[in-house]
Chain A
Amino acid sequence: MSDSYRLPARLDLPAAEPLAQALRGRLGANMTLDGSDVTHLGALCLQVLLSAARTVRHAGHDFALVNASDRLTEQLASLGFTPDRLSGGAE
């Protein structure tokens, strides 16, 4: 089990590409993302997270979003998700 990756505070449009890069580098193992710092989640980063969750799960590993901040939970909700559903890759 690898260390959890602390998501940056602002997951907005400019953050999507770096986030994807960072997560790509962690493929091939269980992935745990720590959402305690997140204050803003945009739809493009959500997309990256979802894609990552699916990729990790398809590879037979575990994906989890933990310590989601209240704000993150609230914003996920706006977009139709819960931390659990996101972790499941919406599958």
Chain B
Amino acid sequence: MSDQNDPMADIRASFFVECEELLEALQDGLGSLDDGVGDSETINVVFRAVHSIKGGAGAFGLEHLVRFAHRYETVLDEVRSNGLTPDHENVKLFFRAADHLSDLVRASRDGLTVPQDAGDALLAELDAMLGTPAETDEASAQVEFTPLGIGIDLGDLDAPFDAGSAPSTRWSIRFQPRAELYETGNEPQILLRNLARLGTADVTCDVGALPLLLELSPETPHLAWTIALDADVSEAEIREVFEFVDGLCDLEVSLALYDDNTASTAERPPAADVNAPAGVTLPQPDTAPQDMPAPPPARRAAEPPARSVVRVDLERIERLVNLVGELVINQAMLAQSLVSAGLSPHSDAMNGLEEFQRLTRDIQDSVMMIRAQPVKSLFQRMSRIVREASAAVGKEVRLVTDGEATEVDKTVIERLADPLTHMIRNAVDHGLEPGADRVSAGKSAEGTVRLSAAHRSGRVIIELSDDGGGINRPRVLQIARTKGLIPPEASLSDTEIDNLLFLPGFSTAESVSNLSGRGVGMDVVRTAIQQLGGRISIQSESGQGTTFTISLPLTLAVLDGMVVDVAGETMVLPLNVVVETLSLGPDDVQMLRPGAELVRVRGGFVPLYDLGAMLGYRSRRTDYTGCIVLLISLDDGNRAALVIDGIEDQRQVVIKGLDDSFFRAPGIAAATILGDGQIALILDPADVIAGCLVPLPVDARLPDRSSKEERLEHG
């Protein structure tokens, strides 16, 4: 485990993990408020999230956090208790406060400081929303409820009912039901009675500021209870009694000082006066009266079934993933040695091995699932980006998310955050037109950015679309020509023009805004996605909007690969790019010009690349007859034919990253260890092809190649 020496560090760490979950719940709640689908429970959820963060922060002495959370909570509480329905502006403010709260949480976790001004400004806005003057008394942050000591004689109250048994632990429990507890059909009386069954309970009711009958609203709870419980039970067992009302009441369980307990028992007569005016001691009832139902689990039905979750150190999972990787390699080695031992494929050993292979694969899938996380947290971060970006450029933007439950490898999620952030900023800044233009184009003034995730054929598809004006192709073309990215006379298809956005150094922004146009272009986004083994593509329709589609592997750790032989070297190509394999006949290849050949595939022509020559293993072939060709499909929808010397296998390989100290050879993505212990390089086909074109003039290379190809393919 992490730090053995400091138990507080662990508790603190788990507090921050909880905070992340609470913040997520907070965002969800605010989201449904904003969509108008929330009910009275939604605001409670939001309130509780903030309240719980405050509670934990208080325990760790995180004052900034407590202060902000408290004021935020106060406002939410007002809204909730007065049954107000927050309007769009209010919810926006709540969102911003939630963002600030998460900043504070992260700052507290990492020991950073957060500028006070932002928080103060937000607090002022929150207070203004209620029309109350800013609360200055920060001491009140700690004051939750002050029981009034009405006629409660503390001396008697503490009198334990101790029938001379061995001294047991004394717990002090404070229980204050909220209105929801009653609304959901729970009854404190039954809870208290169940609690009393654990041992000997000394129940005291804090009547507090109970209003007189005429002012009393009978369904607003005013009462709270303090229970001194003498019982040999753990805190968890006590909390279990209140399990069904978790979150519906304020519950504090603490260990009363043991010394105090024994001292007082010694002084006092052991017999308890059942009619004592204050404390009442309950005998332990043996059986429950028949007509008393157990606390109904009404609350459960209303929520999605709670999942039980185990928190595991990421390091342990990594270790497991690595071990499983080794297992896969080992299994492949075993298979290889059985084959080379000349065993019949129908022998028991081979059958057993097949079974083993299946199991290995299952284990691998399961282990990968451990690392998988829903993209929800990522999407929530993006909703914050949308809010900030839209505020910065003064556009009304609404983010619609879909498929938040889609699970993706944790590493992928982490590394996707930056590119997505950039793309969202782009969408808000460039994609969506200003409000006035939208209205005149017959759209609503509020722009929509849609973010969706889905699993499709073993990959994750993330789509980001806006309902803006679409790509202004003439303008893109003009900029590309001005910047010399393409030759002036090149004629490009729409797709090719769209793809120009991915060229380094491309920016259409007429004015450099705060958000984008800072030199970080879509090329960086594309590189980041490609490093994740993903592809990105654009579809755009003028006046309708633009959609970016990112397709990602589910995991970064394994890859379905095609093991091929290239000039005696074993290489692995990602299977997902391979469209088909063919064997070349004498008339299939046509020379376009020296060094540029095309192969005829199903009536179309595809550029031919000799992999062995491109990787520098041997010189270029002159005769391709009888060669094996892999037809691959690239990111931009183009195809290419790679000449290889043989297909060896099709199997799952464990990706081993290449150390940074290696030369980053073009076309090589990673490496893997094969069954015979041999190391094979994993190729990145797009990179290979881009790399081989270096001898051509750089400016002309991309459009030149693809435009010809396009024409030929369609011709």
- Which residues of A does B touch, CB under 8 Å? 12-13, 16-17, 19-20, 23-24, 27, 39-48, 50-52, 54-55, 58, 71, 74-82, 84-85, 88, 90-91
Contact = CB atoms under 8 A, between A and B. Distances in A.
Contacts of B644: none
Given A51-B210, A79-B205, A16 B219 contact: yes
Contacts of B150: 90-91
Instruction: Give the interface size class of chain B.
Output: 35 or more
Given A44-B219, A85-B277, A79 B213 contact: no
A84 B274 CA distance: 12
Given A51-B212, A78-B189, 17 more contacts: A20-B213, A40-B291, A43-B221, A44-B182, A47-B210, A50-B223, A51-B210, A55-B213, A58-B212, A74-B285, A76-B280, A80-B225, A80-B280, A82-B277, A84-B277, A88-B277, A91-B150
A85 to B, nearest CB: 6
A45 B222 CA distance: 11
A20 B218 contact: yes
Interface in B176-199: 177, 182, 185, 187-190, 192-193, 196
Given A43-B189, A84-B277, A52 B213 contact: yes
Nearest to B214: A24
B213 A51 contact: yes
9 contacts: A17-B219, A20-B216, A43-B177, A51-B211, A74-B285, A76-B280, A78-B190, A79-B189, A90-B150
B151 interface: yes
B193 A47 contact: no
A90 B207 contact: yes
Contacts of B282: 77-78
Contacts of B204: 80
Contact of A81 (B196, B205, B210, B213): B205
A54 B210 contact: yes
A46 B188 CA distance: 11
A74 to B, nearest CB: 8
A16 to B, nearest CB: 4
A54 B212 contact: yes
Contacts of A55: 212-214
Contact of B205 (A13, A24, A80): A80
A13 B185 contact: yes
Interface in B209-267: 210-214, 216, 218-219, 221-223, 225
B151 A90 contact: yes
Nearest to A90: B207
Given A17-B218, A44-B182, A50-B207, A27 B280 contact: no
B202 to A, nearest CB: 8
Contacts of B196: 78
Contacts of B218: 16-17, 19-20, 44-45, 47-48
A1 B142 CA distance: 47
Looking at chain A's contact residues, is the secondary structure mostly helix, strand, loop, or mixed?
Answer: helix
A85 B210 contact: no
Nearest to B280: A77
Contact of A47 (B151, B222, B291): B222
Interface string B497-538: 000000000000000000000000000000000000000000
B185 A48 contact: no
Contacts of B278: 85
A49 B300 CA distance: 31
A30 to B, nearest CB: 15
B5 interface: no
A43 B106 CA distance: 41
B275 interface: yes
A21 to B, nearest CB: 9
A27 B269 CA distance: 42
Contact of A88 (B151, B185, B212, B291): B151
Contact of B280 (A20, A46, A52, A81): A81
B104 to A, nearest CB: 37
Contacts of B292: 40
Contacts of A40: 291-292
Contacts of B219: 13, 16-17, 44
B61 interface: no
Which 8 A-B pairs have CB atoms at the shortest separation, nearest pair first?
A: A80-B203, A16-B218, A80-B205, A55-B213, A43-B188, A78-B193, A20-B218, A55-B212
A37 B334 CA distance: 81
Nearest to B202: A80
Contacts of B595: none
B279 interface: yes
With most chain A CB atoms within 10 A of its CB, the pick from B189, B222, B275, B292 is B189
B189 A42 contact: yes
Nearest to B183: A13
A85 B204 CA distance: 11
Contacts of B190: 78
A79 B225 contact: yes
A29 to B, nearest CB: 13
B289 interface: yes
A19 B218 CA distance: 9
With most chain B CB atoms within 10 A of its CB, the pick from A48, A77, A88 is A77
With most chain B CB atoms within 10 A of its CB, the pick from A13, A43, A45 is A43
With most chain B CB atoms within 10 A of its CB, the pick from A23, A52, A75, A90 is A90
A64 to B, nearest CB: 16
Nearest to B179: A44
